[in-house]
Chains A and B, each alone.
Chain A
Amino acid sequence: MKPLIQVKDLGKSFNGKKVLKNVSFDVYEGEILCLLGPNGAGKSTTINAMSTTLNYEAGEILYDGQLVNQQSNFFKRNLGLVPQDLAIYEDITAEKNVTFFASIYGLRGKELKEKVDQALDFVGLMDRKKNKPKNFSGGMKRRLNIACALAHNPKVMILDEPTVGIDPQSRNHILASIKRLSSMGITIIYTTHYMEEVEEISTRIIIMDHGEIIASGTKDKLKEMLQDEKIYYIDYEGDYLMEKDEFYRIEGIKEVAVNCKRMQISTLKGVENLDRIIALIMNKGLKIYNLSSSSASLEAVFLKLTGRSLRN
Chain B
Amino acid sequence: MLKNNDLYSFYAIFKRDLVNIVLNPVLLISNTLFPFVLVMLLSYLTSGSYGSGGVTAYDYYAVTILIYAVLNTAMTASNSFMEKSLKTSNLRIMYAPIKLSHIYMAKIVATFIFTSVCFLGYIIFFNLVFGVNFGGENLIYVILIVLFMNLLSSVTGVFFCCVFKSEELTNKIISVVINVFAILGSLFFRLDGLGPAAERISFISPAKWAAEAIFRIIYDSDFSLFIPGILMLLMASVALLIGCKITFKVEDYVY
- Known contacts A72-B97, A81-B95; A89 and B20 CB within 8 A of each other: yes
Complex interface bits, A54-94 against B, C-beta within 8 A gives 1, otherwise 0: 11000000000000000011101101010101111111100
Interface residues on B, range: 20 to 34
Whether the pair A53, B94 counts as a contact (CB closer than 8 A) is yes
Give chain B's interface residues, CB within 8 Å of chain A.
5, 8-9, 12-13, 16, 19-20, 23, 85-86, 88-89, 91-98, 250-251, 254-255
Q: Do B91 and A87 touch across chains, with their CB atoms under 8 A apart?
A: yes
A101 CA to B94 CA in the complex, in Å? 11
For chain B, what secondary structure do more than half of its interface residues adopt (helix, strand, loop), or is it mixed? helix
Chain B residues with CB under 8 A of A108:
8
Expressed in whole angstroms, the minimum distance between the Cβ of A163 and any Cβ of chain B is: 17
Q: Which A residues lie within 8 Å of B93 (CB)?
A: 101, 104
Complex contact A54–B13 (CB within 8 A): no
CB contact between A87 and one of B8, B89, B97 (< 8 Å): that residue = B89
Given A83-B88, A106-B9, are A45 and B255 also a contact pair (CB < 8 Å)?
A: yes
Instruction: Pull 19 A–B residue pairs with CB atoms less than 8 Å apart, ordered by A.
Output: A51-B95, A54-B251, A54-B254, A72-B97, A73-B98, A76-B96, A79-B95, A81-B95, A83-B88, A83-B95, A87-B88, A88-B89, A89-B16, A89-B20, A92-B19, A100-B12, A101-B92, A104-B98, A106-B9
Q: Nearest B residue to A101 by beta-carbon distance?
A: B92
For the complex, give the distance between the alpha carbons of A174 and B9 in Å. Answer: 29
Provide the bound-state CA to CA distance between A88 and B91, in Å: 10
CA gap between A81 and B93 in the complex, in Å: 10
Say how far A295's CB is from chain B's closest CB, in angstroms. 40
Contact yes or no, A53 B20, CB < 8 A: no
A105 is an interface residue with CB less than 8 A from chain B: yes
In the complex, what residues of B have CB within 8 A of residue A72's CB?
97
CB distance from B202 to the nearest CB of A (A): 42
Asked if A14 is at the interface (CB within 8 A of a chain B CB), the reply is yes
Complex-state Cα separation, A14 to B94, whole angstroms: 21
A73 and B23 in contact, given A87-B89, A100-B12, A108-B8 (Cβ under 8 angstroms):
no
Q: Which residues of A contact B97 (CB under 8 A)?
A: 72-74, 76-77, 105-106
Contact B95 A89 (CB under 8 A): no
Q: How far does the Cβ of A72 sit from chain B's closest Cβ, in whole Å?
A: 7
What residues of chain B lie closer than 8 Å to A298, measured between beta carbons? none
Complex Cα–Cα for A90 and B88 (A): 11
Chain B residue nearest to A106 in the complex (CB): B5
A48 within 8 A of partner (CB): yes
Contact B9 A104 (CB under 8 A): yes
Q: Which residues of A contact B13 (CB under 8 A)?
A: 104
Total number of A residues with any Cβ neighbor in B under 8 Å:
32
Residue contact B85 to A54, C-beta cutoff 8 Å: no
Q: Say yes or no: A86-B88 contact (C-beta < 8 A), given A72-B97, A104-B9, A105-B97.
A: yes
Contact between chains at A83 and B91 (CB < 8 Å) = yes
Alpha-carbon gap, A230 to B91, bound state (A): 44
Using known A-B contacts A89-B86, A104-B12, A108-B8, determine if residue A48 contacts B92 with beta carbons closer than 8 Å: no
**In the complex, residue of chain A having the shortest beta-carbon distance to the beta carbon of B96:** A104
With both beta carbons as reference points, the residue of chain B lying nearest to A86 in the complex is identified as B88
Contact between B85 and A90 (Cβ–Cβ < 8 Å)?
yes
List residues of chain A with CB within 8 A of the CB of B92: 81, 83, 87, 101, 148-149
Residues on A lying within 8 angstroms of B by beta carbon are 14, 45, 48, 51, 53-55, 72-74, 76-77, 79, 81, 83, 85-92, 100-101, 103-106, 108, 148-149
Q: Using CB atoms, name the residue of chain B closest to A19.
A: B255
Interface contact B8-A106, CB-CB below 8 Å = yes
Bound-state Cα–Cα, A83 to B91, Å: 9
Q: CA of A55 to CA of B91 in the docked complex: distance in angstroms?
A: 16
Q: Kindly provide the distance from the CB of B95 to the nearest chain A CB, expressed in whole angstroms.
A: 5
Residues of A within 8 A of B91 (CB): 83, 85, 87
B13 nearest in chain A by CB position: A104
> B254 near A53 (CB under 8 angstroms)?
yes
CA distance A182 to B88 in the complex (A): 27
Interface centre among B85, B96, B255, by most A CB within 10 Å?
B96
CB closest residue in chain B, given A90? B85
Q: Which of B19, B23, B255 contacts A54 (CB 8 A)?
A: B255
Which of chain B's residues have a CB closer than 8 A to the CB of A53? 94-95, 250-251, 254
Q: Are A14 and B255 in contact (CB under 8 A)?
A: yes
Cβ-defined partner of A55 (8 Å) among B19, B96, B251: B251
Q: Considering the chains assembled together, what is the distance between the CA atoms of A81 and B9 in angstroms?
A: 18
Collect the chain B residues with CB atoms within 8 Å of residue A48's CB.
254-255
A85 to B88, CA, bound (A): 7
A103, B8: Cβ atoms closer than 8 Å: yes
A103 contacts B9, CB within 8 Å?
yes
A106 surroundings in chain B (CB, below 8 A):
5, 8-9, 97
- Residues of B within 8 Å of A81, CB to CB, are 92, 95
**What chain A residues lie within 8 Å of B12 (beta carbons)?**
100, 103-104
Complex CA distance for A79 and B92, rounded to whole angstroms? 12
Instruction: Kindly identify which residue among A14, A54, A86, A100 contacts B16, using a CB–CB cutoff of 8 Å.
Output: A100
B4 and chain A: residue at smallest CB distance: A106
